[in-house]
Structure 1
Amino acid sequence: MKQPSRHSLRLGVAFVLTAICQANPVFPGADPHVAVFDGKFWAYPTHASDPKAQFHSFDFVAYSSPDLVDWKASEPILKMADISWIKDDGARNHWLWAPGITEKDGKYYFYFSVGPQNPTPSRIGVAVADHPAGPFKDIGKPLLTGGNGFEAIDPMVFQDKDGTAYFYAGGSNGAKLRVWKLKPNLIELGEEVEVATPPEFTEGAFMHEIDGTYYLSYSHGGWNNPNYSVHYATSSSPVGPWKYRGAILNSGESHKGPGHHSFFQHPGTKQWYICYHYWPSTKNEPPLTGQRQCSIQKISFAADGTISKVTPTDEGPEPAPIR
């Protein structure tokens, strides 16, 4: 029998190592919001059940994982058909995208964007469940409707340490950030807080806080373009004023248009991660076909608290169970 050459052995070892290390992408979809609930990691992306659907869906699913590596999709947690008010704008076609989630007192609050954005204005809805896997029940009316140059998209809720819940929304063609305080029930808007729109802001605002520093991160550029990227600003308050810090995630050789992300922390190791979507492509041009994918990578910080730049890679997170 012919023995394998050293070259073929090296190729075999390389293949095994690649198979072990290549954990990204972790699941299909876009605009992922990852959170930790009930001892698991939960991810809520824009769910494109049809590979030809580039940027929207007609239902939402959740992905859960015990260790950041093995992800399991749920049954639909909210279907467009179950949103009673969705046709009230008179538009012919509708779609769902860019969800966000938060938890309070054992209830889970799921916020989502509803299109079209033109000629009728986009809207944001909210649904509530007793479990992170749903099923979620829509509250029966929009939480926010766009108009007058503002696009009501990309909801994000941040609950501060004093119990105040802040609702962030906006972007796209309007490229304007708006923030409200939510009422304690988390399904009604309270007072709007006047905030500055930070430099290079397009959409997809996300807020997290570490040791008194508030990190407002967001996407810049066109969602279907290689210039899509993640930038951020910091503040001593969840509503600014903002100190612009620059871009931390840009397109790579085979990972185009990374963005619409979320940050989350492992409750045991305290390691921080970013989850984002991208187009798998080597062409530096807007993709015409294919479905976006979601990746998870560790992030690190400089001594002054700034976030180190992230390079898109297929090497995903190591298994990290929640003990």
Structure 2
Amino acid sequence: MKNLFYSFLALACLGSCSPKTATQFSGKQSSGNPVFPGWYADPEGIIFGKQYWIYPTYSAPYTKQVFMDAFSSKDLVNWTKHERIIDTAAVKWAWRCMWAPSILQKDNKYFLFFSANDIQTEKEHGGIGVAVADKPEGPFKDYLGKPLLDKIVNKAQPIDQYVFHDKDGQYYMIYGGWGRCNITKLKNDFTGLIPFEDGNTFREITPKGYVEGPLMFIRNNKYYFMWSEGGWTGPDYKVAYAIGDSPFGPFERIGTVLEQDATVARGAGHHSVLQPPGSKDWYIVYHRRPLGATDGNHRETCIDKMEFDENGLIKPVKMTFEGVRKHLLK
């Protein structure tokens, strides 16, 4: 009966079905949003070789937020889950709320930076840590046996780290909660921090409106600095940005890139960006809260297109349920 059905379908479509209609039967063509099931937030999107990866926070109450999963895809549409790439059993000093992963590849190793324990004072143990693995799916193990950063500098909570590789080869860590953002230089082996030429180890680069979730990338020799504003459990959560000539700014807020849409979702923020090599396409990977959700931890990971105008300014992102089309890496 199945073969008879498709034979009938083919005859019925002769001369009447458009190519677009025909492709509907060739498999999933768009990612849909969310791109994978489950409550996940703070997604770090990155490309390793010919695969896309997303490393999100497992979105749950802090005492249950003690592990991380990862997801891989060859086309942005079909995603494979890699369970528990790291957990608190592998990081002895972390006992709760591992979140906000940032990852990079260096010297055939994968370094995963993360926040843990949500420290409120320097009397508490925790902060920003580093884990290492031989493969992007882990398993990851604690790299230092202690936090990389456990101090509150310039009133910035040591959370939400983003590791930025500058075009001169220098690695920086940009981080901070409580409405403050710092940048610091990383040692080449990620075992510690390096003072700047003036002797200070940290520089504050907080733009107006900044709350948390920093991100930086280079486009046309300009430094795009992005961050999240508002409360992470509220409908006012959103993404804003600035553009500078160096990783130190100064950064003046330009505008909002991503915010709630009363017809799609609320609480959209804490994002990352992807640009496939050799492509002009850019994607924003972010979390949002479904309409009607009342639990602050009910966040899901989504992907939509991110575009620029002729002046290099980021156009406001339109959230969708469709997500993005297939994009194979070359």
Which residue of structure 1 lines up, in the alignment, with residue 300 of structure 2?
293
Residue 31 in 1 paired to residue 36 in 2? no
SS at match of 1:244: coil
Preserved CA contact (<8 Å) 2:31 2:325: no
Within a 5 Å distance, the mapping from 1:1-323 to structure 2 comes to 23-27=32-36, 28=38, 29-48=40-59, 53=61, 57-86=65-94, 94-118=96-120, 120=124, 122-139=126-143, 140-147=145-152, 149-171=155-177, 174-191=178-195, 192-253=201-262, 254-282=264-292, 287-288=294-295, 291-323=298-330
Distance 1:241 1:56, change over 3 A: farther
* Per-residue deviation, residues 175-211 of structure 1 (Å, max 9, x unmatched): 1101101011023111224233101100000011111
When normalised by structure 2's length, the TM-score is: 0.83
SS at match of 2:227: strand
Q: Give, in whole Å, the separation in 2 of the partners of 1:136 and 1:270.
A: 33
Which residue of structure 1 lines up, in the alignment, with residue 6 of structure 2?
none
Q: Look at both structures and tell me which one has the larger radius of gyration over its CA atoms.
A: 2
What displacement does 1:86 show?
2.5
Preserved CA contact (<8 Å) 1:233 1:244: yes
What displacement does 1:117 show?
3.0
When normalised by structure 1's length, the TM-score is: 0.85
- The alignment-based identity, stated in percent, is 38
SS at match of 2:253: strand
Q: Give, in whole Å, the separation in 1 of the partners of 2:276 and 2:80.
A: 18
What displacement does 1:134 show?
1.1
What displacement does 1:312 show?
1.4
Structure 1 regions of 5+ residues with no counterpart? 1-12, 88-93
What displacement does 1:137 show?
1.5
What displacement does 1:146 show?
3.4
SS at match of 1:30: strand
What displacement does 1:244 show?
1.7
Give the paired residue count: 294
Preserved CA contact (<8 Å) 2:62 2:97: no
Distance 1:97 1:290, change over 3 A: closer
What displacement does 1:128 show?
1.0
SS at match of 2:83: coil
Amino acid at match of 2:258: L
Distance 1:182 1:57, change over 3 A: same
Amino acid at match of 2:85: I
Structure 2 regions of 5+ residues with no counterpart? 1-20, 196-200
Q: Give, in whole Å, the separation in 1 of the partners of 2:308 and 2:190.
A: 32
Preserved CA contact (<8 Å) 1:128 1:138: yes
Preserved CA contact (<8 Å) 2:244 2:250: yes
Q: Give, in whole Å, the separation in 2 of the partners of 1:54 and 1:80.
A: 12
Q: Give, in whole Å, the separation in 2 of the partners of 1:204 and 1:238.
A: 16
SS at match of 1:243: coil
Which residue of structure 2 lines up, in the alignment, with residue 91 of structure 1?
none
What displacement does 1:121 show?
6.2
Preserved CA contact (<8 Å) 2:235 2:267: yes
Preserved CA contact (<8 Å) 1:31 1:98: yes
Preserved CA contact (<8 Å) 1:122 1:151: no
Q: Give, in whole Å, the separation in 1 of the partners of 2:99 and 2:76.
A: 23
Q: Give, in whole Å, the separation in 2 of the partners of 1:37 and 1:114.
A: 25
Distance 1:280 1:38, change over 3 A: same
CA-based RMSD of the aligned residues comes to 2.2
Q: Give, in whole Å, the separation in 2 of the partners of 1:267 and 1:74.
A: 24
